[in-house]
Amino acid sequence: MAPIVNMLRAVFATLFLTVNLAADVHAQSQVARVGVIPSGSAAKTARFIDVFRQRLQELGYVEGRNIAVELRYPGEHTEGYREAAAELVALKVDVIVAASTAATRAARQQTSTIPIVMVGVADAVLAGFAQTLARPGGNATGQSFLGAELHDKGFDLLTEALPRVKRIAMIYDPAIAIRDPPEFKNVRTAAQAKGVTIVPVRVRRADDLSSALAAMAETPPGALHVFAVRIAEQPQIADFAAKHRIPAICSFGEAVDAGALMTYGPNFFEFWRGAASYVDKILKGAKPADLPVEQPAAFEMVINLKTAKALGITLPPSVLARADRLIQ
């Protein structure tokens, strides 16, 4: 009797192990792989990734159980976006989340089939990422804002706040900007009308930025307009501007806390929450070509009054009245 019982036990143990292994294989096959290309290093983009992961959790995703987030950082140069995108395509991820214009461009160059979710790119239609906002038509969708209009408004605000400034440096990354500063017709026309000289400062990597800031310290401009620069780098530029007493306007809210005089732009944390919602829809069967590209409902303007005081600047009431938030 004992040998039979032992044999049955062995059979049941084998069956139990087989069922569990099959369940594990099935569970693994149900894990969605989401590739993410942030706009900077792990340290500089950690808060954005945290917001993205939190929103995924709210939508019912648990890492290791039904979703895996594959992060590929571009490093300190824009060429790194291509390498990051290539790695994610090789991994055969289900979706790629691209956190900038440069990241989206790199991802589209690597794949025309894997869905791509854009996180706050500048003018998706003008950049060629979507046929129209309502019907993107390709493998990319997500969130976009009108970059040229944002830059125009930033220039207007800066010159209204500082009417006596006649030389403004404009920092940008040509891999992110859709067009170079001279091609922003409205800014060029407005600058000429106001007698303002625009000094374009191109930066492609961390070394370029350091060199550009060092040169700027030698011959400081009257003001600094920061646009089409990786979001993760803007606080560094704002800190530099504060230390060298250069009033600056940036497009990312965190920069004003780092010493920028003001910021004007969309809420990028909301962009990351929205990216998670797009991922959810795509994983549930929606096609990027059919998901409309969303635009921010409003831009936020923040003024750092402490910076203004430190620089000896008295801002016009017309500018102060339009601020959404004042840092005292």
Quick: pLDDT tens for 219-255: 999 999 987 777 778 888 888 999 999 999 988 877 8
Q: Residue 301 in 3-state DSSP?
A: strand
Given a cut of 50, whether residue 24 has pLDDT beyond it is no
Domains (range + CATH), the chain: 25-146+267-290 (3.40.50.2300), 148-266+300-327 (3.40.50.2300)
Signed CA dihedral, 192, 194, 195, 197: sign only: negative
Q: Averaged over 50-70, what is the pLDDT?
A: 97
Percent of the chain with pLDDT over 70: 85
Please write down the long-range contacts of 88-91, taking CB distance under 8 Å and 24 or more positions apart. Answer: 88/35, 88/37, 88/114, 89/114, 91/33, 91/35
* Mean pLDDT for the stretch of residues 116-138: 92
Confidence of residue 126 (pLDDT cuts 50, 70, 90): confident
Residue of higher predicted confidence among 208 and 284: 284
* 164-168, 210-214, 318-322: segment of lowest average pLDDT: 210-214
* Mean pLDDT (whole number) for 279-300: 94
Run of H or E including 133: none
User: Residue range 108-118: average pLDDT?
Assistant: 97
Query: Of 145, 173, 175, which Cα lies nearest the Cα of 82?
Result: 175
Report the C-alpha dihedral over residues 225, 74, 67, 297, rounded to 10 degrees.
Answer: 10
Q: Is a pLDDT exceeding 80 seen at residue 182?
A: no
Give the predicted TM-score (pTM) of the model. 0.80
Answer for the pair 255, 237: CB distance below 8 angstroms, yes or no. yes
Is residue 19 very low, low, confident or very high in pLDDT (cuts 50, 70, 90)?
very low
Whether the pLDDT of residue 52 is over 60: the answer is yes
Neighbouring C-alpha atoms within 13 Å toward the C-beta of 109: 14
